[in-house]
Chains A and B, each alone.
Chain A
């Protein structure tokens, strides 16, 4: 079935350094790739997304890249700050006639060391 693999499961970086989280997906018909951030005690919240017609998207300190041929996509966070500590989920979906069904990765717990 459809699957999204996410690595690493935990990541610890020094404040100010960059963090990279990688995902692969199995459904070649996937055309939408969101990233969600889940802070302690809260539900996941969308932080950035990319559609299959672009290879890269940037929003301030975060960027996503997509390689459709290899079915890989990645999240890059530069100049990390303490508030970046959270669990991050990648996801992939394809649009159905009535609703999009999103498949989530297993999550990456990011810790920023002061």
Chain B
């Protein structure tokens, strides 16, 4: 069974704090993703990474950065948290290897509900 874990289920931070959200997957997946989920807006891609130390911006990268130092771990960083970053954050991973068929299936973690006061 693929397992994607996120460091916290619930997090409360203050405006201006630096926030780290951690994600770990145990399936040796190349691709990892960070989304935020807001009512009526679905899942919006913040950043993704297709290899260690590689990252690409998604649709809403402003105010966020990411780090991928190890294949299994992908961190989302809020440099200076703001109230409009209060949301559910979901991490996902998927398999890809050049030259091999990709299933494209993304496996999600349980999410971190972040509240910024």
Contacts and interface: CB of A to CB of B under 8 A. Distances in A.
B111 A102 contact: no
A60 B48 CA distance: 33
Interface string A74-114: 00000000000000010001010111111111110000000
Interface stretch (B11-19, B39-47, B63-71, B73-81): B39-47
Nearest to B108: A43
Contacts of B4: 43
B90 interface: yes
Contact of B104 (A6, A9, A95): A95
Interface residues of A, number: 28
A95 B96 CA distance: 11
Interface in A1-57: 1, 4, 6, 9, 32, 34, 36, 41-46, 49
Closest 7 CB pairs of A and B: A43-B108, A99-B50, A106-B42, A104-B43, A104-B42, A98-B50, A100-B104
